[in-house]
Amino acid sequence: GQSLEQPSEVTAVEGAIVQINCTYQTSGFYGLSWYQQHDGGAPTFLSYNALDGLEETGRFSSFLSRSDSYGYLLLQELQMKDSASYFCAGTAGNKLTFGGGTRVLVKP
Amino acid sequence: DAGVIQSPRHEVTEMGQEVTLRCKPISGHNSLFWYRQTMMRGLELLIYFNNNVPIDDSGMPEDRFSAKMPNASFSTLKIQPSEPRDSAVYFCASSLGPRQGGGNQPQHFGDGTRLSIL
């Protein structure tokens, strides 16, 4: 099975940079995904790392280190609309196992 | 393009009643997933199908829960009899099949069904 740990909450101001860490213990691990969920909404896909290193998509970047069983999501130039929960999810086969989620609160 | 469509959006029913949740995946997607989300347990995978065949139902809580996928465009999750502890948001998601070499494709979630069992 898999277990993924991430902080429960992060608060930052507009324009700041936030890093959400995710550590995992897993068997059959293929890669790490990140999903965003606004209150009352559905999770939406942000990024997927299968290989070690950094993947950049606009203001968001995701990093994976397989040797450290660790990854992170970097949110840059924070905007109010980035206030949401962010989930890391480990991939084993075609299954996702989600971490508990990190609630990001962006203040003016 | 239409996304994943779930119905109903909200359901309130009394304990002991049968509940049926419905899902229409994105056309062309051959993997379908049912999740349950609660504050206490987070986002849990209940069951997933590949090409309409159930692949892993290890997350299904107990025999009161059942899921079917009679064709590529429709799936149901049924709870019978329902209990108050089943109250949660139930999400359906779909994706293309697994990536070559392992790993999965991005999953597209429906808006969810908010289920309250009184």
CB B67 within 8 A of CB B85: no
pLDDT exceeds cutoff 70 at B1: no
Q: Give the minimum alpha-carbon distance from A75 to chain B in angstroms, rounded to a whole number.
A: 20
- Picking from B23, B14, B49, the residue whose alpha carbon sits closest to that of residue B112 is B23
pLDDT tens profile A6-54: 999 999 999 999 999 999 997 778 899 999 999 999 999 999 999 999 9
pLDDT exceeds cutoff 70 at B5: yes
Among B45, B108, B112, the residue with its CB nearest the CB of A96 is B45
Taking an 8 Å cut-off on Cβ atoms, the answer to whether B56 and A100 are in contact is: no
pLDDT tens profile A74-93: 999 999 999 999 999 998 87
Q: How many CB atoms lie within 10 A of CB B21?
A: 22
Give the A-side interface with B, CB within 8 Å.
30-31, 33, 41-45, 48, 50, 87, 91, 93-101
User: What token pair was written down for B58?
Assistant: 């290890």
pLDDT tens profile B62-105: 899 999 999 999 999 999 999 999 999 999 999 997 777 667 78
Distance from C-alpha of B80 to C-alpha of B98, rounded to nearest angstrom: 32
Q: Which of the 8 DSSP states describes residue B26? A: P
Structure confidence at residue B79 (pLDDT) = 97
User: What token pair was written down for A28?
Assistant: 């059959």
pLDDT tens profile B13-49: 999 999 999 999 999 999 999 999 999 999 999 999 9
Q: How many CB atoms lie within 10 A of CB B48?
A: 27
